[in-house]
């Protein structure tokens, strides 16, 4: 547990760095990191061209894991995902797969259009996702997979595919960047090629946090979690027992990523992302508004905010955003965009918080922004 702070800090830096220049995808990046720590898988749903793969690629690179990415199609062969059959061994009558550099050896995987995979691919994938074991012919290996991110335009209607989709506990629904942030998107896409390529953390950091999450004390928060699950079900949202039980892993991972060994009411927000449909997530957010008002996570501010719509999570995100800007203030002629960004944060603070309800840390950051913008 003693290494939790530095490891969680490294993962936090990896998230922040991965999001640099990526507009409106912070929650997705954070949820991939959360799932990697929890040992769960993520399904991202949204139209093409919404930076899903870019977001996953960046956090994978920054977490330093072995990464495998593939765009599946109806004619994709299992060997394209799991590796080719070893012809040398086949001569000896042994069916072995050369898995080097392929999914069975990946620590973080991204499978685009995941539901287009053939039955053979999806069946083998089930074993990898559920048991972290790859079996094919004479090959049977343990997979080091921390998180698999599947992506698709929409949820499958086919019953068999729905059962496969259920293996992805975390669901993230993304849409195009809103009109208000189009300038930011254009600026970011223009400079995207210049993004840094260094790892900010390592799989050892992820594993340290994951170990702390597995050891975390969740007994204290269990009654509140059960109450939240009842509220979600009472609102008519379908949440299977399997998903309800596994939410605990996300709650514990959220606490560990915040550097805490004990989960509490601040960590309940991941429940929303375990709800399998977009409309269900909307209903769950509304039903849990009071329960999730305390949501907060220094490492995962955007996901905590998106899950809870709570003021504390919103304040934490604004504080982090402002502090990140103040950490690297540009000099001289570059101050225009810097001041513009600060003005945007000030606008969001003043639009979102009545002075009497402003958390002290946010009030402090606001005062700093006022001083900066008041200076010539």
Partner 1 sequence: MSGVAVGWTPREEPLAPLAAAAWGAASRAMAERLLDLPDATLARLSGVGGAGVIVVLGEAADLPWVDGVSYLGRDAEAPSLLLPTNARPSVPAALFARALARRFPKIAPPFAVLAPEARVVSCAGALSLSRGRIERWRGGAP
CB of 282 to partner 1, least distance (A): 13
Report how far residue 206's alpha carbon sits from residue 196's, in angstroms, rounded to the nearest whole number: 20
Q: Which residues contact 199 (CB under 8 A, 6 or more apart)?
A: 14, 61, 62, 63, 64
Asked if 151 and 53 count as a contact pair (C-beta separation under 8 A), the reply is yes
Which residues are within 8 A (CB) of 168 and not within 5 positions of it... i.e. 6 or more apart? Answer: 40, 41, 42, 43, 129, 148, 150
Output 181 or 323, the one with its CB closest to partner 1.
Answer: 181
Q: Taking a C-beta distance cutoff of 8 angstroms, is the pair 262, 212 a contact?
A: no
Provide the minimum distance between the beta carbon of 361 and partner 1 in the complex, in angstroms, as a whole number: 17
- Separation of alpha carbons 122 and 330, rounded Å: 49
Strand 139-142 relative to strand 133-136, pairing? antiparallel
Record the tokens describing residue 185, joined without a space.
């998107």
Two tokens, residue 237:
């949202």
d(C-alpha 292, C-alpha 286), whole Å: 10
What is the binding site for partner 1 (CB under 8 A)?
179-181, 183, 289, 293, 309-311, 343-344, 346-347, 350-354, 356-357, 370, 373-374
d(CA 301, CA 307): 10
Task: Specify the residue for token string 């080091």.
Answer: 144
Task: Tell me the two tokens of residue 85.
Answer: 């059959």
How far, in Å, CA of 65 to CA of 231, rounded?
A: 38
Q: Which is nearer to partner 1, 106 or 315 (CB)?
A: 315
Smaller CB distance to partner 1: residue 156 or 352?
Answer: 352
Nearest 5 degrees, angle CA 8-CA 259-CA 322?
75
Taking the complex as a whole, the smallest distance from the CB of residue 348 to partner 1 amounts, in Å, to: 9
Decide whether 234 or 356 has the Cβ nearer to partner 1. 356
CB of 357 to partner 1, least distance (A): 4
- C-beta of 144 vs 352, nearer to partner 1: 352
Nearer to partner 1, 63 or 319 (CB): 319
Q: In the complex, what is the shortest distance from the CB of residue 236 to partner 1, in angstroms, rounded to a whole number? A: 21
Distance of CA 272 to the CA centre of its chain: 13
> Cβ of residue 80: shortest distance to partner 1, in angstroms?
43
Query: Is 131 or 343 the residue whose CB approaches partner 1 more closely?
Result: 343
> Is residue 23 helix, strand or coil?
coil
Q: Which is nearer to partner 1, 226 or 370 (CB)?
A: 370
CB of 293 to partner 1, least distance (A): 7
| Shortest Å, Cβ 168 to partner 1 | 29
Can you name the residues that pair with 262 across neighbouring β-strands? 217
């Amino acid at each position: 547990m003693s290494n939790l702070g530095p490891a969680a800090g490294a993962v936090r830096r990896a998230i922040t760095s991965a999001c640099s220049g990526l507009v409106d995808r912070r929650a997705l990046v954070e949820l991939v990191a959360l799932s990697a720590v929890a040992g769960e898988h993520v399904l991202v749903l949204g139209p093409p061209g919404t930076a899903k793969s870019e977001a996953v690629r960046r956090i994978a690179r920054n977490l330093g894991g072995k990464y495998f990415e593939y765009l599946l199609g109806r004619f994709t062969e299992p060997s394209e995902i799991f590796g080719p059959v070893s012809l040398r061994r086949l001569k000896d009558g042994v069916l072995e797969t050369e898995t080097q550099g392929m999914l069975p050896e990946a620590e973080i995987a991204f499978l685009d259009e995941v539901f287009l995979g053939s039955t053979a691919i999806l069946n083998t994938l089930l074993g990898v996702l559920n048991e972290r074991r790859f079996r094919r012919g004479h090959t049977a290996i343990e997979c080091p997979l921390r998180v698999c991110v599947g992506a698709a335009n929409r949820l499958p209607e086919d019953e068999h595919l729905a059962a496969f989709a259920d293996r992805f506990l975390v669901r993230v629904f993304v849409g195009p960047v809103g009109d208000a942030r189009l300038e930011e998107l254009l600026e970011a896409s223009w400079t995207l090629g210049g993004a840094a390529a260094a790892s900010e953390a390592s799989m050892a950091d992820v594993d340290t946090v994951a170990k702390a999450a597995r050891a975390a004390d969740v007994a204290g928060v269990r009654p509140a979690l059960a109450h939240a699950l009842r509220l979600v079900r009472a609102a008519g949202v379908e949440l299977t027992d399997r998903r309800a039980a596994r939410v605990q892993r996300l709650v514990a991972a959220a606490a560990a990523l915040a550097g805490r060994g004990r989960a509490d009411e601040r960590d309940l927000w991941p429940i929303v992302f375990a709800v399998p449909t977009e409309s269900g997530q909307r209903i769950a957010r509304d039903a849990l508004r009071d329960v999730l008002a305390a949501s907060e996570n220094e490492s995962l501010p955007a996901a905590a905010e998106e899950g809870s719509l709570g003021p504390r999570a919103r304040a934490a995100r604004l504080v982090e955003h402002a502090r990140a800007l103040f950490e690297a203030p540009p000099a001289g002629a570059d101050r225009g965009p810097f001041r513009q960004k600060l003005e945007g944060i000030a606008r969001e603070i003043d639009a979102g918080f009545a002075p009497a309800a402003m958390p002290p840390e946010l009030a402090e950051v606001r005062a700093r922004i006022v001083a900066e913008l008041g200076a010539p």
